[in-house]
């Protein structure tokens, strides 16, 4: 009898250590793996994707870019450019099959563009569930 109690106790300890990963933990891990495997990733002559990060407390998926060359000028970042980027990114999010799980979960997407020259945040675009659904 003592043997069965010992075996059951060991099994209980072993299974209590198994923790299922939450959706948020899985997304954070996937973002980290993507960054390690693919970043920095040259998007075009002026833009590099530096990292993807998922913040669990904010439930926000961040895309961090560096801009350089012709795009690395404060004078370019007008309201008109901001609005054009906003519309293009929103269309991209709405049409993305890869983001379906995140969209269904109501994740916020945030795109941050930093100057290569100064390190300054040049533009930020943020999209909540209300925006893309």
Fold of 21-132: GMP Synthetase; Chain A, domain 3 (3.30.300)
Task: Return d(Cα 64, Cα 54) in angstroms, integer.
Answer: 11
Higher pLDDT, 46 or 2: 46
User: Which tokens in the block code for residue 63?
Assistant: 């895309």
pLDDT computed for residue 23 by the predictor: 95
CB atoms within 10 A of CB 107: 23
| Residues 17-31 pLDDT 10s | 556 899 999 999 999
Distance of CA 12 to the CA centre of its chain: 36
| Residues 30-78 pLDDT 10s | 999 999 999 999 999 999 999 999 999 999 999 999 999 999 999 999 9
Dihedral sign, CA of 44, 46, 50, 53?
negative
pLDDT computed for residue 6 by the predictor: 45
Dihedral sign, CA of 73, 79, 83, 84?
negative
Task: Return d(Cα 2, Cα 55) in angstroms, integer.
Answer: 47
Task: Return d(Cα 56, Cα 81) in angstroms, integer.
Answer: 30
pLDDT computed for residue 73 by the predictor: 95
> Which helix or strand (DSSP H or E) is residue 94 part of?
helix 79-95
Where along the chain do its domains lie?
21-132
Rounded to two decimals, the pTM is: 0.84
Q: What is the mean pLDDT of the chain?
A: 90
User: Which tokens in the block code for residue 122?
Assistant: 């040049």
Closest to 131 (Cα-Cα) out of 37, 47, 60, 27 = 60
> Which helix or strand (DSSP H or E) is residue 122 part of?
strand 121-127
């Amino acid at each position: 009898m003592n043997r069965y109690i010992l075996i059951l106790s060991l099994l209980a300890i072993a299974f209590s250590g198994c923790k299922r990963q939450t959706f948020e933990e899985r997304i954070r891990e996937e973002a980290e793996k993507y960054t390690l495997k693919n970043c920095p990733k040259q998007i075009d002559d002026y833009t590099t994707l530096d990292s993807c990060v998922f913040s669990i407390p904010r439930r926000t998926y961040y895309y961090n870019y560096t801009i350089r060359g012709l795009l690395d000028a404060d004078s370019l970042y007008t309201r008109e450019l901001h609005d054009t980027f906003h519309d293009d990114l929103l269309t991209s999010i709405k049409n993305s099959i890869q983001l379906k799980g995140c969209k269904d979960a109501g994740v916020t997407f945030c795109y941050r563009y930093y100057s290569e020259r100064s390190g300054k945040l040049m533009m930020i675009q943020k999209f909540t569930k209300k925006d893309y659904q």
